[in-house]
Amino acid sequence: MTRKHYDWRVGEPLPILGDHSVAKHEIFEQYLGIYIERLTRTFSQTMLNLTIVDGFCGGGLYRHRGGEAEGSPLRLLHAVEEADKALNAARIKGFEVRADFVFVDENAEHIAFLRDLLIKRGYGPRLGTDIFLLCSTFEDACPGIVTRIQAKGTAQRSLFFLDQYGWSDVRFATIRSILSQIKNPEILLTFAVDALIDFLTEKRAESAALLGLDLQREDVRALLELKSGDGWRYLIQNGLYRHVQSRTGAPFYTPFFIHSVESHRSYWLLHLSSHRQARDEMGKLHWRINNHFQHHGGAGFHALGFNPSKDLRQDLMQFMFDDDARARSETAVLDQLPRMIHAANQGDLGGLVVEQLFAGNCNDTPVTSDILSSQLRLLRDEGELMIVSSAGKEKPRAKTIAWDDRLILPRQRSMFSRLG
């Protein structure tokens, strides 16, 4: 387990924030704005109810590069304020984002610092009304938070930012309970994978921390056996990732990978949700801001398959969200799509639904709906497939591909067809 290194006390110097954490907070703030925009696209809508949970909020202010940097509580508050302002300006009838903020930290001095900071920034009147400060571990606070969200209404829109410093402060059973007991939750979880790998030993195989991740003795032994091979650290990371995705119970998940220059350790930012569109929007955000994060894997679909004969320095851990990576993703998808569509059309005259194609293959990949659509249009324009609407009408020149469109093989194809 990792020792926490951020401390706040009123009247004392601020802790220092690394560049990688600034990038992570930027993801938090921007994704919250995207999340609100996604849920307010109906022009007649005048209100949105949601709950924003910061499970490891800290004191909310840092030192960074000679100045001050706002932490996640302030950045999340700002994101909602900006979204609310934009919606009110665009809607004739006005708009209200009714957001409850729940900030949790187990250190009483951190909560005291954050309370003082919020009062100084003008949020004092809202404390106890729509901003709630809880001095507690996230594990202890979570059942009450879930009950609060359930009581707010039927939609139960909620975002959980679980920025733990290590890897053991959020049990997978807790994540499963959030995903199963709330109708529309999304979770962003930081996970110090390298610190966990360093912790793994036979003697610690039955520690409470590992059991909290549903890692049994036989699981630990299987991971430790990988140390005998080439590229063992990546192999263990891949094994742990498969374990995370299976034990959290999230239908849609995306791993983003960041290396901390300050600590020389790598960790994941895991986005867990129950919706295909949520996963797609998070992927688009990483492509757009192109910051410190990498995708845990290579280009194209099935990006997490591991070939031990490959040089680990090539492709696997060097996938940055830049122009070169996008070109590699488009090339890989163009190569993979024909076989996937061909297999899906065997004995099925109805073709393959676009949403089925994306939802069934998106979790392990940096591919977004934009990349998928561009390559489907290219295959259509080459005569390799037909795109047919849900009403049965062919779309030979349409620029927009809908989720319920179907991909159908043409009756006649060139002998040089990609589809075989």
The closest alpha carbon to 17, from 261, 195, 194, belongs to 261
The closest alpha carbon to 72, from 99, 52, 86, 96, belongs to 52
Q: What is the structure's pLDDT at 384?
A: 84
Q: Please list the alpha-helical segments (H only) found in 64-137.
A: 72-90, 108-120
Q: Where are the domains of the chain?
A: 19-295, 336-408
Q: What 3 state SS string does 165-209 have? A: CCCCCCCHHHHHHHHHHCCEEEEEEEECHHHHHHHCCHHHCCCHH
Helix H or strand E segment including 174 = helix 172-181
| 400 residue type, one letter | T
Dihedral angle sign, alpha carbons of residues 401, 406, 412, 417: positive
pTM given for the model: 0.82
Per residue of the chain (420 residues), what is the pLDDT tens digit?
334 578 999 999 999 998 888 888 988 999 999 999 999 988 889 999 999 999 999 999 999 999 999 999 999 999 999 999 999 998 888 899 999 999 999 999 999 999 999 999 999 999 999 999 999 999 999 999 999 999 998 999 999 999 998 999 999 999 999 999 999 999 999 998 888 988 998 889 889 999 999 999 999 998 888 887 767 877 787 788 788 888 998 888 877 777 665 555 677 888 899 888 888 888 777 667 654 455 445 544 444 332 323 333 334 334 444 555 567 667 767 777 777 777 766 665 567 888 888 877 777 667 778 888 888 898 888 888 889 999 999 999 999 999 899 988 886 655 445 555
Structure tokens at 20: 């990688």
The closest alpha carbon to 157, from 124, 186, 131, belongs to 186
Asked if residue 62 lies in contact with residue 93, where contact means CB atoms within 8 angstroms, the answer is no
Instruction: Report the topology of domain 19-295.
Output: Rossmann fold (3.40.50)
The closest alpha carbon to 146, from 111, 114, 172, 176, belongs to 176
